[in-house]
C-alpha cells in the first residue's frame, strides 16, 4: 500500500481531505485551531517534498448554497498562521476559477477550496426532491443522484490533482464524495495522511490486541445512539462502565423509579437484552448505585443524592454520586486498557461535573501506572481538556461518530476506500 512516507510528491499536486470544521465566533474568527494544527504535519510533508497542496473540507451544516456564515474563506488567515505560508482561496469547488488555480499551482504552494457542503453532491443527498414521492421513488432518486451527480462531483475534484490524501478521520465514516468516492479516481495514488494513519493504528491496536483487563466507559444521554457499539464491545472487553443519561434507561428497564431523568422507555427491551448478553459473555457491567439529582438543569439547582433507581418525581439524575465515584475509580484503576466515550454526568455545568472529573483523574492515574487509555468522542475530549488532563492519557481520538463506527463495524468507508 502507498504511504505518505514512501510516495514521491515532487512536482505533483496533492488534494487533501482535511477536517477544518472548526468553531467560529460571531465575527467569523477561529476560536479553536486544534483541527487545523492536526493537519499541519501532512501538509508540510507534501510541501517539503516539492509538491503542492489543494485543501478541501466541510464547515458546519449549511442549509443553502452559498452561505457566507459557513464559508471557508473565514479561516484562511488561521490556516496561513498554522502553516507559515500563504494560502490561496478558490471561492468555490467546481467553477473555472478553482480548476484554473489548481492547474497553475506550483511546488510549495497551497490553495483551499470552498466548503464542500455548499454542494449537495458532497453528501450525495439531493436537496430538491419533489414532494409527494413514494418511499420507493425517493430511494430511486437518491440512488440516481449518487450514481450521477455525486460521481461527477468527485471526478471534478480528482481532476485537480495527481494524488489523493485522506487526513480527516472525523468524517471517515461517511460515504461522501471527498472521503470515499474520490478515492476511486486514484487507484495507485491514494494514501492516509499522518493523522488518519495515527487514528487507524491506535484504534486497530486497541481493538485487536488490548492488554487485559480491558474496560470501556460509555457515557452519553441515550442508549439508542450507543446500542451497536455496546454490543460490539461486549465481544471484546472484560467490563463496561455505563454512565450518563443511559443509566436511567437501564434502571427504569429493571423496574426502578427515575423521576424526571432522561429516559427512553422504547429502549427497555434493548437495555434488558444488553444486560443478558453481558451476563452470557461474562462481561461485567458497572453502573453507579447512586445519583446526584437536581430540581432544575442549571448551576443554581438544588441538589441531593439518591439511589439511581429511586429518584423522586420533580428531580432528575445529572451525575454519579459518592458511591458511584468510588466504584468507578476503583474499577478503572484495576484495568490495563481503557476506552472512554461519553461523560458520566452533565459536565458542562460545574456543579454536575464532579463525577466526570473523578473518571478523568482515575484514567490519568491508571495511565501513569502503565495502562493504555484512549479517549474519543467530542464530549469526552472536552472533558479531559476542561480538567487539564489531555496530556495525561495515552491517545485522544479526533473522531466521535467515526470512532464508534470503527469499533462497531471494524472498519470505515474512508479507510476501506484507501486500502482497496
Q: Which three cell numbers stand for residue 248?
A: 436511567
Helix (H) or strand (E) holding 41: helix 34-48
Candidates 60, 378, 386, 392; catalytic one: 378
Candidates 12, 155, 222, 231; catalytic one: 222
Query: Looking up cell 477536517, which residue turns up?
Result: 19
Candidates 35, 117, 174, 226; catalytic one: 35
Residue 378 is among the residues annotated as catalytic for this protein:
yes
Beta bridge partners of 372: 337
Q: Using alpha carbons, list the distances in angstroms from residue 166 to 290, 373, 411.
A: 45, 25, 15
- Count of other CB atoms within 10 angstroms of residue 284: 14
**Which among 113, 106, 90, 3 is positioned nearest to 52, based on CA atoms?**
106
Q: What is the DSSP letter of 384?
A: H
Residue 125 is among the residues annotated as catalytic for this protein:
no
Q: 3-class DSSP state for residue 168? A: coil
Residue 11 is among the residues annotated as catalytic for this protein:
no
Rg of the Cα atoms in the chain: 23
Beta bridge partners of 290: 307
Q: How far apart are CA 56 and CA 72, in angstroms?
A: 9
**Which among 194, 188, 152, 203 is positioned nearest to 8, based on CA atoms?**
188
Q: Using alpha carbons, list the distances in angstroms from residue 18 to 26, 166, 195, 210, 260.
A: 23, 7, 10, 29, 42
Q: 3-class DSSP state for residue 218? A: strand
Q: Which three cell numbers stand for residue 109?
A: 504552494
Query: Looking up cell 418511499, which residue turns up?
Result: 135
Give the number of C-alpha atoms closer than 13 A to the C-alpha of residue 300, restricted to the C-beta side. 0
Query: Looking up cell 487545523, which residue turns up?
Result: 36
104 burial level (CB within 10 Å; 0-12, 13-18, 19+): exposed
Q: Do residues 162 and 8 touch, judged by C-beta distance below 8 A?
A: no
- Count of other CB atoms within 10 angstroms of residue 44: 16
Q: Do residues 228 and 251 touch, judged by C-beta distance below 8 A?
A: no
CA 186 vs. chain centroid, Å, equals: 26
Q: How far apart are CA 391 and CA 411, in angstroms?
A: 27
Residues involved in catalysis:
35, 222, 378, 401
Amino acid at each position: 500500500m502507498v504511504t505518505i512516507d514512501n510516495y514521491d510528491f515532487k512536482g505533483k499536486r496533492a488534494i487533501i481531505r482535511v477536517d477544518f470544521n472548526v468553531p467560529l465566533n460571531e465575527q467569523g474568527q477561529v476560536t479553536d485551531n486544534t483541527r487545523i494544527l492536526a493537519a499541519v504535519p501532512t501538509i508540510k510533508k507534501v510541501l517539503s517534498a516539492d509538491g503542492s497542496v489543494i485543501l478541501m473540507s466541510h464547515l458546519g451544516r449549511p442549509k443553502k448554497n452559498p452561505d457566507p456564515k459557513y464559508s471557508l474563506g473565514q479561516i484562511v488567515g488561521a490556516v496561513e498562521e498554522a502553516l507559515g505560508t500563504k494560502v490561496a482561496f478558490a471561492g468555490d469547488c467546481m467553477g473555472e476559477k478553482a480548476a484554473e488555480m489548481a492547474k497553475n499551482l506550483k511546488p510549495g504552494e497551497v490553495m483551499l477550496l470552498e466548503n464542500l457542503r455548499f454542494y449537495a453532491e458532497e453528501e450525495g443527498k439531493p436537496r430538491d426532491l419533489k414532494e409527494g414521492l413514494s418511499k420507493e421513488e425517493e430511494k430511486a432518486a437518491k440512488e440516481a443522484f449518487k450514481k450521477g451527480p455525486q460521481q461527477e462531483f468527485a471526478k471534478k475534484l480528482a481532476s485537480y490533482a495527481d494524488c489523493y490524501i485522506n487526513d480527516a478521520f472525523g468524517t471517515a465514516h461517511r460515504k461522501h464524495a471527498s472521503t470515499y468516492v474520490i478515492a476511486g479516481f486514484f487507484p495507485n495514488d491514494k494514501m492516509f495522511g499522518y493523522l488518519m494513519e495515527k487514528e487507524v493504528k491506535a484504534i486497530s491496536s486497541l481493538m485487536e490486541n488490548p492488554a487485559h483487563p480491558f474496560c470501556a466507559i460509555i457515557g452519553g444521554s441515550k442508549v439508542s445512539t450507543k446500542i451497536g457499539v455496546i454490543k460490539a464491545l461486549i465481544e471484546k472487553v472484560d467490563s463496561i462502565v455505563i454512565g450518563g443519561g443511559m443509566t436511567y434507561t437501564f434502571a427504569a428497564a429493571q423496574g426502578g423509579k427515575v423521576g424526571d431523568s432522561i429516559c427512553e422507555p422504547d429502549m427497555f427491551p434493548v437495555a434488558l437484552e444488553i444486560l443478558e448478553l453481558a451476563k452470557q459473555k461474562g462481561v461485567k457491567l458497572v453502573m453507579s448505585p447512586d445519583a446526584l439529582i437536581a430540581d432544575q438543569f442549571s448551576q443554581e439547582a438544588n441538589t441531593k443524592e439518591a439511589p439511581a433507581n429511586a429518584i423522586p418525581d420533580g428531580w432528575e439524575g445529572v451525575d454519579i454520586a459518592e458511591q458511584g465515584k468510588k466504584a468507578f475509580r476503583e474499577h478503572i484503576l484495576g484495568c490495563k486498557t481503557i476506552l472512554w466515550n461519553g461523560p458520566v454526568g452533565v459536565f458542562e455545568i460545574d456543579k454536575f461535573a464532579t463525577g466526570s472529573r473523578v473518571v478523568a483523574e482515575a484514567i490519568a492515574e491508571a495511565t501513569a501506572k502503565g495502562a493504555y487509555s484512549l479517549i474519543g468522542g467530542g464530549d469526552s475530549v472536552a472533558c479531559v481538556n476542561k480538567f487539564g488532563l489531555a496530556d495525561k492519557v495515552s491517545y485522544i481520538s479526533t473522531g466521535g461518530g467515526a470512532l464508534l463506527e470503527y469499533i462497531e463495524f471494524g472498519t470505515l468507508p474512508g479507510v476501506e476506500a484507501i486500502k482497496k
